[in-house]
Structure 1
Amino acid sequence: MLNHKKAFSVAMGAAFLMAMSAVGPGFLTQTAAFTSQMGADFGFAILVCILVDIGVQLNIWRIICVSGKRAQQIANELVPGLGYVLTALIVIGGLTFNIGNIGGVGLGFNVLFGISPENGALIGGAIALIIFLVRNALIVMDRTVQVLAVVKVLLIIFIVAISSPPVGQAALHTIAPSHIDFYSIVTIVGGTVGGYISFSGGHRLLEGGLKGKESIRYINQGALTGIGVASFIRVLLFLAALAVIAEGFKLNPLNPAASIFSAAAGNFGYKFFGLILLAAGMTSTLGSTFTSVSFLNYSTDKGTESIFHKLRPFLIIFFIVFSTAVFYFIGRPAKILVIVGAINGLILPIALAILLVAVTKKKIMGELYKHPLWLTIFGWIIVVFMAYAGVESVIKGFSSLF
């Protein structure tokens, strides 16, 4: 068992990795776009998203860490070969969406310094490689993510402060919305805890040495902190967008997030947006790369673990170089993103269902562990809700291609 200081540090590293993996370029765009469409009613969708996030992360983090096994290993123990299916879903989705993350870094450099998005993506890819390949890479990754998180929060707080949002109206509609948009809820839940993001924190805890029932205190601290940070940023961005809309400004549908900052603070605000976009793209790139590569680790002893750690730098290099190269030479492959985005909507309910079944198996969890009943019930409600939503997303995704 780690000492308190070390365990707390690992928990906070996992919390910020999860939160900042969620707060990527897509997160910024979704929040701005839905606020533009729904106004104050979007607050209700955010509230539901937070509740779902709590149910998902507390279940997944606890099951992974108490068992001491990665999600793919748990799935393989439950049904031989199931872990490989889960790995394929996570890695393909993470690899594809990392193209968008790297693209966000490139666009951030473009806004800040006027260089092309493609060259900005090259710089971002190089920075990500340096972070991962230096000594004590996990600690460097944690600190980088935490610093960029502070940058995002401070910049958005500044925009909210100068834009005077209608907080009372937002609070009222959050509790009693005049219209509920099911699609917006599904979309932002998927963007916050969908795909690889669900596992980024749990796998980071294992990497840091937190496992077993004695770590539950730190597991809960990390999960709730991560959800809190991501939710706080979304609420701030929602309020900033609402303030701009209340003043009669129409957000640009092609870049709604940028419109918020431009409307609130002119060109100065637009530069702020560039910095936030760069930070969002970089943190999501780090989270996607770390988590996707962790799904390729099936080691069960120190020998195989040592072999994987020797291979990991090459896997990381491939993951980042491939994503950067695709963005540089092709741009965002729209059709692939539509298909993978639709499939990504199914990853959460599939993965959560696997873990909820696994938590009932003593051979996986140990003889003495008993999962809280309320977490189990909460988890299965989310599985049903997100499975229905995911099927709808797949149908819509494929129909849009024909």
Structure 2
Amino acid sequence: MAEVGTHEKLGSGARRTALLGAMFLMATSAIGPGFITQTTVFTVQLGAAFAFAILVSILVDIAVQLNVWRVIGISGSRAQELGNKVFPGVGWFLAGLVFIGGVVFNIGNIAGTGLGMNAMLGLDPKIGGAISAAVAILIFLSKKAGMALDRIVVLLGAVMILLMLYVAIVAAPPVGEALKNTVLPEQIDFLVITTLIGGTVGGYITYAGAHRMIDSGVKGEENVKHISRSSVLGIIVTGVMRVLLFLAIFGVVAGGVALTSDNLAAEAFGHAAGEIGVRMFGIVLWAAALTSVIGAAYTSVSFVTKSTTAARKRNLITVVFIAACAGIYLLIGQAPQTLLIFAGAFNGLILPVGFGVLLWVAWRRRDLLHGYVYPKWLLLIGVASWLLTLYLGANSLAGLAKLWA
């Protein structure tokens, strides 16, 4: 496979590889340290009823990504480029939000790799974080960085799913109770649902797969079926990981174990599978954090460079981005909690702004879609989802107001 951004037409095999890489980049970008923490906490909090929240969030995530991938894929332009064509300056505003949030969260992601290597091998977290950042940098320094990126996210995604499947089976959760609550929940927590949605398709994650896809050369109306299928499968991969993690934690909690430590997920893995469970948790956390480092770096840089920027130059900028985040982590240990909250609020603003621009393109700017007639049903479910993102954005603004108060 040639380097990123050099394709105009792809054969079926190259297209399949490109879409698989884009799909897993989106999925694994969502599956980071925060994803693991959120899923664990909400499982302990809601028990079997959390299954309903997972189902609803997956359905909304699919509605969002179907629209994002289709608009970006058919137009062949990145989100910020479309934003500047619709409302001059909006694209750069969006790019600024993504980049600032990406820097802060990547410091947290590198911290997550350090914690993962500590649980896996007993290494000092800072040493583990430095080694992991070096691994990510080597991927982008590779002569075939595009191929290396695609393969590593697919491999690590598969490893996470297989390990989670093993722990979920060993934990022996009451699956029947979980299935019942999927459609007939004992309780519904709307805040939990919106938090899951924001964590899966918020911030840079919204655009990770779609930007990777067009950089790999998959774009245009002729690829619309492949684009749609891949966007849905990417969310399903994320959903499978969340379901398996939920079942693993739920099995432990339903067995009567009270999780009380500062690291609930590691404690649950230990109860389910003993010492090997703790090591497996380390591998899962490390893989989740490393793929999030890669996804955040790739997507953040894609927002501050042009689509015409040479792949080698873009990769070198990505290397500097990762090295800078790693340097900050080594100096301060992790992103301060206040900065993480601030970046989280930024993420909440990114989705309604960026998604709103893409829906406007779908509705009013057929010229940017090269004459493509956008399906009305898809636009309608997109608008319904966008209204929900406004709620997320309002919560984010409220969070920023409290932070500044």
Return the TM-score normalized by structure 1.
0.95
- 1:283-322 pair list within 5 angstroms: 283-299=291-307, 305=308, 307-322=309-324
RMSD between aligned alpha carbons? 1.4
CA contact (8 A) 1:339 1:394 kept: no
- 1:62-141 pair list within 5 angstroms: 62-141=70-149
CA contact (8 A) 1:297 1:308 kept: no
Tell me how far apart the structure 2 counterparts of residues 341 and 383 of structure 1 sit (CA, whole Å). Answer: 18
Q: Which SS does the other structure have where 2:304 is aligned?
A: coil
CA contact (8 A) 2:203 2:346 kept: no
Tell me which of 241, 252, 263 is aligned to 2:249: 241
Alignment-mate amino acid for residue 381 of structure 1: A
Number of the residue aligned with 1:302: none
Tell me how far apart the structure 2 counterparts of residues 107 and 394 of structure 1 sit (CA, whole Å). Answer: 31
Tell me how far apart the structure 1 counterparts of residues 295 and 107 of structure 2 sit (CA, whole Å). Answer: 13
Cα deviation for residue 308 of structure 1 reads 4.2
Tell me how far apart the structure 1 counterparts of residues 293 and 159 of structure 2 sit (CA, whole Å). Answer: 17
Deviation readout 1:182-232 (Å, 9 max, x if unpaired): 111111111111111111111111111111100112101211211111100
Tell me which of 368, 377, 394 is aligned to 1:364: 368
Tell me how far apart the structure 1 counterparts of residues 11 and 45 of structure 2 sit (CA, whole Å). Answer: 49
**Distance of aligned partners of 1:253 and 1:85 in 2 relative to their CA distance in 1, 3 Å threshold:** farther
Identity %: 43
User: Is 1:11 aligned to residue 19 of structure 2?
Assistant: yes
Alignment-mate amino acid for residue 362 of structure 1: R
CA contact (8 A) 2:345 2:396 kept: yes
- 1:3-402 pair list within 5 angstroms: 3-252=11-260, 254-299=262-307, 305=308, 307-330=309-332, 331-359=334-362, 360-367=364-371, 369-399=372-402, 402=405
CA contact (8 A) 1:55 1:378 kept: yes
Return the TM-score normalized by structure 2.
0.95
Paired residues, number: 395
Structure 1: unaligned runs, 5 residues or longer: 300-304
Tell me how far apart the structure 2 counterparts of residues 310 and 272 of structure 1 sit (CA, whole Å). Answer: 35
Tell me how far apart the structure 2 counterparts of residues 215 and 251 of structure 1 sit (CA, whole Å). Answer: 48
CA contact (8 A) 2:104 2:335 kept: no
Superposition misfits of 4+ residues, deviation over 6 angstroms = none
Tell me how far apart the structure 1 counterparts of residues 349 and 256 of structure 2 sit (CA, whole Å). Answer: 38
**Distance of aligned partners of 1:96 and 1:181 in 2 relative to their CA distance in 1, 3 Å threshold:** same
Q: Which SS does the other structure have where 1:295 is aligned?
A: helix
CA contact (8 A) 2:140 2:316 kept: no
Q: Which SS does the other structure have where 2:14 is aligned?
A: helix
CA contact (8 A) 1:349 1:382 kept: no
CA contact (8 A) 2:19 2:230 kept: yes
